[in-house]
Each structure stands twice: as C-alpha cells, then as structure tokens.
C-alpha cells in the first residue's frame, strides 16, 4: 500500500501523468496535488472503515442476543442487554456519520468481527452453562469490545485529521460507550463470575 502511494505521488510530482481522476483542471504543481491526493485517500480509507464497522455493529445486534440467552449471571445479562440497546444506537450514529459526509450508509463484511462472533459461538458450545460459560461469554464479548474500541478510535482520529467535526462528535460518543461496556464486563467478571468459575473448576 505504501509502495502504491509513493509511486503515484512520484508520478504526479514528475508531472507526466493524467489518468483523469485526480488533477481535473488543476495545475499539477506536485506538492498541493500530492497533499489533496493523500487526503482523498484518507477519506477513502475512512469510508472503508466506516462500512466495516457498520457491518460489524449490525452483526452484533444478532450475536449479542445469543450471548444473553446463554448467560446465567443476572449482572452479565443486564450488562449485555444494556449494551445491545447501545449497539442499536451505534448503528443510528453510523447512519448520521455517513449522512454527514454525504454518503448513503453501506456495509462491507468485516472478516475480523465475523471471526470473533464465530469464536463466541464455539466458546458457548464448549462450556457448560453457568459460571463457566458466563466467563467464556465475557472473554468473547471483551474481544469484540476491543475490536470496536480500536475501530472507533481510528475512525475518530481520521475524522479529526479530515476536519469532519460532526463525525468526530458522533464517533467519540460511541467510542466512550464501547470503553464503558468493556469496563463493565471486567467488573462483572472480577466481582463474581471468575471466582465462581474457578470454584466450579476446583
Ligand atoms: Fe458498538
Ligand atoms: Fe460494543
């Protein structure tokens, strides 16, 4: 990817190219064209990442209810149920982010989230219902939250660099909820579930 970037930039700086999709009517004076090209590439990356997390959030609205069904601890059920509501809201916010950049919301399959959700299913199948399965659900759910935290952290940073102030506010709101959900799961785990699971294993 870096190679691609630098080779197109070199072509532009040499002033030889004109493939029709960059310097429409603009003087090709190297520096400024290269800057605007970088920002249009960053915008493209921003949009691609948005589509990825949009797919992931939609998949989570189907995966979290399965975790809730499999959970036993009331604290865990409550934490997951409240985060399911937040997840619906994350989708609404993503619609608003797409709208703020003049694009229609669209999804692109997120292989990473697909894998994490599959792994959650395997953990639930392989653990006996009760504290053990609850501990497994928390571990799978926290991996999901960490993926989301990484994605929203990057998206917010991209939005900031691109000067998309409305998107920054929306993405930051979701990022904070993902962090809080992760902390809540840690609390549920350390307060009761891990202790009970360890006792059960003994
Ligand atoms: Fe989310
Ligand atoms: Fe989340």
User: Residue 92: how many CB atoms within 10 A of its CB?
Assistant: 11
For residue 182, the ligand closest to its alpha carbon is 2
Q: What is the pLDDT of residue 30?
A: 45
Q: What is the pLDDT of residue 194?
A: 74
CA of 37 to the centre of ligand 2 (A): 33
DSSP 8-class letter at 129: T
CA of 148 to the centre of ligand 1 (A): 6
The number of residues in the chain equals 202
Q: How far apart are the first and last CA of the chain?
A: 51
CA of 128 to the centre of ligand 1 (A): 28
* Residue ranges in the chain whose pLDDT is less than 50: 1-31
Q: What is the pLDDT of residue 11?
A: 32
CA of 154 to the centre of ligand 1 (A): 14
Pair 151, 49: CB distance under 8 Å: yes
Q: What is the pLDDT of residue 37?
A: 78
Q: What is the pLDDT of residue 32?
A: 53
């Amino acid at each position: 990817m870096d190679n691609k970037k630098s080779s197109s930039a070199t072509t532009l700086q040499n002033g030889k190219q004109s493939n029709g999709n960059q310097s429409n009517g603009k003087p090709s004076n190297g520096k400024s064209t290269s800057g605007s090209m970088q920002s249009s590439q960053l915008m493209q990356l921003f949009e691609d990442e948005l589509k990825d997390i949009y797919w992931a959030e939609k998949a989570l609205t189907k995966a979290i209810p399965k975790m809730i069904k499999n959970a036993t601890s009331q604290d865990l059920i409550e934490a997951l149920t409240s985060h399911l509501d937040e997840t619906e809201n994350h989708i609404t916010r993503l619609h608003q982010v797409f709208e703020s950049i003049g694009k229609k919301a669209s999804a692109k399959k997120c292989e990473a989230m697909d894998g994490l959700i599959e792994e959650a299913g395997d953990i639930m199948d392989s653990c006996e219902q009760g504290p053990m399965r609850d501990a497994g659900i928390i571990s799978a759910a926290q991996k999901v939250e960490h993926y989301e935290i990484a994605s929203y952290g990057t998206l917010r940073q991209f939005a900031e660099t691109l000067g998309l102030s409305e998107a920054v506010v929306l993405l930051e709101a979701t990022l904070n909820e993902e962090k809080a959900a992760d902390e809540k799961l840690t609390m549920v785990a350390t307060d009761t579930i891990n202790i009970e699971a360890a006792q059960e294993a003994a």
